[in-house]
Amino acid sequence: MAAAQTFVIVGGGLAGAKAAETLRAEGFDGRVVLIAGEAELPYERPPLSKGYLLGSDDRSKALVHHRDWYTEQDVELRLDTRVTAVDSSAHEVELAGGERIGYHKLLLATGSVPRRLDAPGADLASVFYLRELPDADHLLDVLEPGHRVAVVGGGWIGLEVAAAARTHGAEVALVELTDLPLLPVLGPEVAQVFAELHREHGVDLHLGTGIREVIGADGRVVAVVTATGAEIMADTVVVGIGARPALELAEMAGLAVDDGVLVDASLRTSDPDIYAAGDIAEVDHPSLGGRVRVEHWANALDGGPVAARAMLGHDVSYDRLPYFFTDQYDLGMEYIGHAPPGSYDDVVLRGDVAGRAFYAFWLSAGRVLAGMHVNLWDDGVGPVEALVRSGRTVDASKLADPAVPIDQV
Ligand SMILES: Cc1cc2nc3c(=O)[nH]c(=O)nc-3n(C[C@H](O)[C@H](O)[C@H](O)COP(=O)(O)OP(=O)(O)OC[C@H]3O[C@@H](n4cnc5c(N)ncnc54)[C@H](O)[C@@H]3O)c2cc1C
């Protein structure tokens, strides 16, 4: 690789920072420019709704690399800097303010932005979203005994915020459109486990309803009104209703885009000099046999390095199975595989569901598409991954029987 080459990475999240690390680890000695919209050093987001929000982990634990690392590795880190345009024919990106930086290879790792709540009053102060460190700081400032929090959305982030808020002693109501939290992701059998977990910890669940209005006084929230007319008194509202991939730059560059930026198994886009990784990448997955886009930490952690190697001309293929984890109160869970809503026809539970120490598997025509464990850390998701990768049909009754080893079902 010629020393004069410039590789530009847009997006200072986990995928972008890991890509920069891999370029140097692989011996790339050209210019690496990492452009980050946020003012913070690149950091991981899972702690924002877990250890950091609980107050148990400090800020530095979330950082991908400490400040000196960027200097030591000669990575030009441009914090608080937004790329406003990509000119793929000139091989240049344009920054807010007009500066242009030329690239030989470009990685887009622009991540996701939270979906906004569309309801009267949603723009009041003390209606929060949780994506960036300062969002978590605002919440940490207010979460204390007696503070009333209304969480909108019973997905992963909503539930983790509810758990953290309860742990701080705040009063928590959670409003979810479907009949159970996580219902579209996990199906009723497992979603019920999460509903019970939160009820047991004192979360007031309002299920099967949305938000009609956020009521304020003097510019601050005082209550939310559900679509069914229930009025929930609240000092703070936290909205966790999903995110959308930040595709504007990819579209501007004229790249093929669908639900995400379309990339091949080496994470290369329709432009041979532009790559995409992390939340925005919709990968032609070699083993799942279709296009997959996921908004998961592990996908950023593993995808950034793969894109970096591909930028260096290595022959790489992104073959990781989607992997996800959550921590809520004393429940820890890991999920591996790909079983989007509508893709499976059976859910098999194995172990002590009531005691929250079990496996769940999502099957289609007898094949395991995905599985998760709850609080079974000895074996974790290892055996599940092997089952998913094997693609073989299994005996569901054996799978449900903890006496039969998973590799013998
Ligand atoms: C609160 C929270 C908790 C989470 N918990 C989990 C979890 O437990 N498990 C799990 O698997 N996943 C979790 N996730 C998801 C996980 O964090 C994401 O999948 C991951 O952050 C994606 O990384 P990324 O690098 O693709 O994007 P991001 O982390 O979103 O980083 C993208 C960066 O690009 C920057 N950017 C965007 N556009 C531009 C531009 N034009 N110019 C310059 N910079 C730009 C953004 O400012 C951002 O900093 C969580 C997410 C959140 C928000």
Does the domain at 6-113+244-311 match CATH 3.50.50.60? Answer given as: yes
Compute the average pLDDT of residues 379-400: 95
Output the pLDDT for position 374: 97
Q: How far apart are CA 232 and CA 78, in angstroms?
A: 43
Query: CB of 34 within 8 A of CB of 67?
Result: no
- Under a CB-based contact definition with an 8 Å cutoff, are residues 393 and 367 in contact? yes
Q: DSSP class of residue 260?
A: S
Listed residue (298, 301, 259, 302) closest to 281, CA to CA: 259
Distance separating alpha carbons of residues 88 and 8, to the nearest angstrom: 12
Q: How sure is the predictor about 3, in pLDDT bands with cuts at 50, 70 and 90?
A: low
Q: Which residues line ligand 1 (CB under 6 A)?
A: 10-16, 35-38, 45-46, 48-49, 82-83, 109-112, 130-131, 157, 246, 249, 278-279, 295-298, 300, 324-326
For the stretch 148-184, pLDDT in tens is 999 999 999 999 999 999 999 999 999 999 999 999 8
- Expressed in angstroms and rounded, the spacing between residue 16 Cα and the centre of ligand 1 is 10
The two structure tokens encoding residue 129: 């979203």
In the CATH hierarchy, which fold is given to the domain comprising 330-408? Enolase-like; domain 1 (3.30.390)
Q: Which tens digits make up the pLDDT trace of 241-255?
A: 999 999 999 999 999
Strand (E) or helix (H) holding 13? none
Q: How far is the CA of 18 from the centre of ligand 1 (A)?
A: 13
Q: Can you tell me the distance from the alpha carbon of 408 to that of 395, in angstroms, rounded to the nearest whole number?
A: 9
Distance 185 CA to ligand 1 centre (A): 20
Pick 127-241's CATH classification: 3.50.50.60, 3.90.180.10, 3.20.20.70, 3.40.50.2300: 3.50.50.60
Burial of 99 (0-12, 13-18, 19+ CB in 10 A): exposed
Q: Hey, whose CA ends up nearest to atom 17 of ligand 1?
A: 45
Q: How many CB atoms lie within 10 A of CB 245?
A: 22
Query: What number of other Cβ atoms are within 10 A of residue 56's Cβ?
Result: 12
Please state, rounded to an integer, the average pLDDT across all residues of the chain: 96
Q: Residue 390 belongs to what H/E stretch?
A: helix 382-390
pLDDT of 2 above 60: no
Residues 6+ apart with CB under 8 A from 342: none
Residue 206 has pLDDT above 80, yes or no: yes
Instruction: Determine the distance separating the centroid of ligand 1 and the alpha carbon of 142, expressed in angstroms.
Output: 24
Alpha-carbon distance of 182 to 331, in angstroms, equals 15
Express each pLDDT in 101-132 by its tens digit. 999 999 999 999 999 999 999 999 999 999 99
Same fold, 127-241 and 330-408: no
Tell me how far the alpha carbon of residue 131 lies from the centroid of ligand 1, in angstroms: 7
Find the radius of gyration of the CA atoms of the chain: 22
Overall average pLDDT of the 301-329 stretch: 97
Model confidence at 37: pLDDT above 60: yes
Torsion of CA 46, 162, 154, 198, to 10 degrees: 120
Contact 73, 21 (CB under 8 A): yes
Three-class SS state of 357: strand
Distance CA 232, CA 121 (A): 14
Q: CB atoms < 10 A from the CB of 23, how many?
A: 28
Q: Which among 85, 10, 59 has a CA at the least distance from the CA of 248?
A: 85
Region 20-39 average pLDDT:
98
Confidence (pTM): 0.96
CA pair distance 75, 35, nearest whole angstrom? 10
Residue 107 sits at φ, ψ, to 5 deg, of -115, 125
Q: Judge whether 213 and 122 are in contact, CB under 8 Å.
A: no
Specify the residue with its C-alpha closest to ligand 1, atom 3.
46
Angle at 154 between CA 344 and CA 301, to 5 degrees: 70
High-pLDDT (> 70) share of the chain, %: 99
Output the CA 391–ligand 1 centroid distance in Å. 31
Six token digits for residue 345: 């026809």
Domain borders along the chain are 6-113+244-311, 127-241, 330-408
Q: Point out the ligand 1 atom lying closest to the alpha carbon of residue 16.
A: 25
